[in-house]
Structure 1
Amino acid sequence: MSTIHWTENSTPQSARWHSENAAPVPRLTVVADDRTRADDAYRQACEGTALLWRGDFHNARQLMRAMGRRLDRKPPRPGTSPSESFHLHRRRSSHRARVLGKLLVLLDDDYTLTLRRAPDVRQACLEAYGPPQGRTAVSLRELLGVIGAHQWRLKGLVVPALGTRIHPHYGVFAPIRDEYVDLVAHAPLPPATRHSLATSTAFDLGTGTGVLAAVLAHRGIQHVVATDISPRALTCATENVRRLALTDRIEVSGPGLFPQGRADLVVCNPPWLPARPTGPVEQGVYDPDGTMLHGFLAGLSAHLRPGGEGWLILSDLAEHLGLRTRRQLLDAVRAARLRVVDKIDTKPRHPRAKDAADPLHTARRAETTSLWRLAPAP
């Protein structure tokens, strides 16, 4: 356990330090309140000094927004290539997270946030962090994410392909982009599966919230095994399966990638960009060296029944960003002794695809999301 130290009213203080992004303990922490000027807070944060907020909660949010505006004064530097633009964007985002992450709040022994006009964050923190372990300092930016995740967990997200809601948990990738869900909902099932739905089995690898496992069950697959390497995802998927009354059809298993046995259909929606995530939420987007993608391809043939297929749901955004080529993807498919049966494409419908101010707008505008139907090569 890491410990953060500061002095308040001439008295040395300490608390447990927690960061979901594994940010190091600040080397220096000072107390800040409603009298703290945004320019001073921004300068100290850029220098690496953390500010433990002891004023009004809403004023803390305003201060963080003011610090963000100061970060935005310098326009992003364009890259000479798509890959350089991506790495510059990631570097800028990382710097922004480091600076804004220096504004801290203190959670009491029961996760109470004792600031004026502060919301009750106890349940949200319990869901995200588990049982309290004493006074804990966290960044305000992270806490706001925890609060937002709690609201998603309560209200859920509508999934049109299911006609109902999925309830994401903190740190689990939420199905806010429904085009990939629709691909799984409408792609033709493998012939062997269509002819024997009553005995069909499917694997959903990297299930996250369990949304694709639920879609497969709604399509008539009798037994779906949903796996994930994340304990948070396994808990989330289990809860959603129970909410959807699909416990007799969907088995949540893990942590791991492939379960034991073989299936008629193996579905995998790996992170789309081969880059290093900076926190748990980004693990649904970034996959260093395409580890999950290559793991799926390498193990697919050994886990398919005769006549079965593997469905790889993948965006080509990495190709437009110069992070992976189409040839590299197809070479990996061939190296795994697989063949492409078909490829079904769709265009993204999320708002960022139309945001001309996005530094990666050119790549996002050209992006296509595909469902690759794969089978063992003869």
Structure 2
Amino acid sequence: MKAAVLKQIGDGELDVREDVATTKPGPDEVRVRIRAAGVCHSDVSAMKGGLPALAPGVMGHEGAGEVLEVGSSVTDLQPGDHVVLSFVPQCGRCAYCLGGQPNLCEVHTVAAFVSPRFEVAGEPAFGFGGCGAFAEEVVVPSVGAIKVDPDVPFEIAALVGCGVLTGVGAVLNTAKVEPGSTVVVIGCGGVGISVIQGARLAGASRVVAVDPVTDKHAVAKRFGATHTTTPEGLEELKNEVTGGRGFDYAIEVVGLAATIRSAYDAARRGGSVVVVGAGGPEQAVELNAQELFINEKKILPSFYGSSDPRRDTARMLDFWRAGQLDLEGMISRRIRLDEINDGLAALQEPGGAIVRQIVEFD
């Protein structure tokens, strides 16, 4: 079968090849034919070494498809079911799952780093995020394949699997944005647009979108931002919108030390600073003890939108059906797997206004 393979960490391009096969599903695993996969900036970060990944490996972690085969112990899925992939499958038994934080479950995440799920030219290879969605087929834990209704388009389902759960979840689950509040969102890529939609959904009175790419400003307003600015204009707009007090919620979706610091400075005293961006270990943020004590700002990291993937996948699709989330509008471009390197390059082009690209499979 065909898949996009990262030969080694640091490579700038993926090798699209046809000598790739999945491993046979174990008792608690399923084999899924991928029908749509989102192109996420986390894939680029992993290729460069900013996020954990193994090579050789098949990239891609935001996908949806159709179950082809189930393991002998799987009872809740069957061939033909439509599913969304979750890169953090919940075991349901660990302290995190039982404590209401299934997004922090480590059981299957750790297993993904020691259990190859592909073979490339007969040699073992891994799937990024335990998935490897840039492939025609994948083998994943059955709990990482979340069943959806068959009338949900695969591209819509794929978006929910990562970007939408992460962005909307950061608003509803992590920040718990209250109606009438003020929100600033720093970074207007695919996840940032999901955050903006989540803030609108939560009833925020003013949503300020910040991005240095001015082409993204009109896009941000289309999805619910009430104001837009470049980073240089944020202080002035903060004074205009909040009377200089600062925002109730400052949500950072970039993963850089400078933008996290900017979010902290933009939040009001007693407000919430939500860090969604997936930054590397070199992005060290400096805060002094006095400002932490005096300002009493809550710093809330948000991994995978603090989501319960099974619960929240259904919630996001309910919002979509009700017209409260515009998921179709987030798809800026559709590409084939052979064009994946063009898609990855487009994410890194300065001045681009791409929200999400979808890889379509036959």
Larger Rg: 1
Of structures 1 and 2, the one with the larger relative CO (CA 8 A, separation 6+) is 2
Q: TM-score range with shorter-chain normalisation? A: 0.3 to 0.5
TM-score by length of 2: 0.34
